[in-house]
Amino acid sequence: MRIVNRLYAFLGWAIVALGGLHMLTTIRLSSTPAFRVWFFGSGLAMALVGALNLLQRAYGPAAPGLRVVCRIANVFLTLFAAVAGALTRASLVEYLVILGLLGGASILSFVPASYPKSADA
């Protein structure tokens, strides 16, 4: 089950990185200030949900409230990304990357083997 735990860590860090990239990309946008604020905010949301997954991975067994919040955030961000991708006509590769990361983290957030049972992980 250690591989599941490591995969969950990878997905959490990848979501944080993707959120950071999203925020950095805001600088290069040539659109309205309001759109740039929303675009940056979406990246911030991704980074925070990635951080929630990392926190759940580390403290999930001891923090039932964290588990609930993380799972809800995962489900809603995955749904938001699916709708946003449809509205913006995202490419297949973009869909696969974002839904693979967010969907994978959503699934693993419900798998008890995703977080360590002891302090060795």
pLDDT of residue 61: 84
- For residue 45, what pLDDT is reported? 96
Q: List the chain domain ranges.
A: 2-114
Predicted TM-score (pTM) of this structure: 0.90
- Sorting pLDDT into bands at 50, 70 and 90, what band is 118? low
First to last CA, the chain: 11
Burial code of 53-87, b = ≥16 C-beta within 10 A, e = fewer? bbbbbbebeeeeeebeebbebbeebbeebbeebee
Phi and psi torsions of 119, nearest 5°? -80, 5
pLDDT in tens, 50-90: 999 999 999 988 889 999 999 999 999 999 999 999 999 99
pLDDT confidence tier of residue 120, bands split at 50, 70 and 90 = very low
Give dist(CA 61, CA 52) in Å, integer. 14
pLDDT, residue 119, reads 47
Residue-level pLDDT at 117:
67
How confident is the prediction for the chain on average, in pLDDT?
91
Residue 79 corresponds to which amino acid? L
Question: Per-residue pLDDT for 42 more than 80?
Answer: yes
Share of the chain above pLDDT 90, in %: 81
Sign, CA dihedral 105-69-82-107, equals positive
